[in-house]
Amino acid sequence: MITPSVPFTEELSELITRLVKQIPNEYRRQAMSDVVQTLLDGKSRKAEDVLGWNRHTVELGINEFRTGIRCISDVSARGKKKVEEDNPQLLRDIERILEPHSESDSHLRTTLLHNNITAKAVRNTLIEIGYSEGELPAERTFYDLLNRQGYRRRTVAKSKVQKKRND
């Protein structure tokens, strides 16, 4: 057994790190805490220095090991919500603005709606309706929102008359 007073060699720390990485994610914190408690006197900061592990992850693993309760990470709840999820009324107002200016593909090959209004114009129209500058997202966000909703800023080309071929 390695005592904390004996320094870890680089080869030993690489071996331990490699072995722990092979353990499935749901059991990895437990393995990390077991290594830290056995070899590093339960000191998560030493694990950070010697093995390069995140000390908060190691502390969580030690607490899970101590209590017997496994913490579940809700990764999908992280991050910022999309504008349309956060403010459904805004989405309805945008659709109301774009409806008179939208046309479907002239050949009906796609379900995309083409319009001749820019994202900046939609944003400015919403400000005129009564939204404040601060509660609206940036112009680039409007561009992404319109793309997600299936609106593309293109003018629909009118059908061209086919020229008759003289053969």
**pTM of the entire predicted model:** 0.45
Q: What is the pLDDT of residue 157?
A: 52
CA separation, residue 151 to residues 47, 95, 126, 159 (Å): 52, 10, 17, 21
Q: What is the pLDDT of residue 87?
A: 83
Q: Are 59 and 47 in contact (CB under 8 A)?
A: no
Buried b vs exposed e over 93-106: b needs ≥16 C-beta within 10 Å? bbeebbeeebeeee
Q: What is the pLDDT of residue 2?
A: 47
Q: Can you state the angle between helices 44-51 and 55-67, rounded to 10 degrees?
A: 140
What is the number of alpha carbons within 13 Å of residue 139 lying toward its C-beta? 7
Q: What is the pLDDT of residue 110?
A: 62
Q: What is the pLDDT of residue 85?
A: 82
Nearest alpha carbon to residue 123 among 152, 85, 94 = 94
Digitized pLDDT (tens) for each residue of the chain, 167 residues in all: 445 545 678 888 888 888 888 888 778 888 888 888 888 888 888 888 888 888 888 898 888 888 888 877 776 777 788 888 888 888 888 888 877 766 665 656 665 566 677 888 888 989 998 888 888 888 888 888 888 887 766 654 555 556 666 65
For residue 104, what are the β-bridge partners? 113
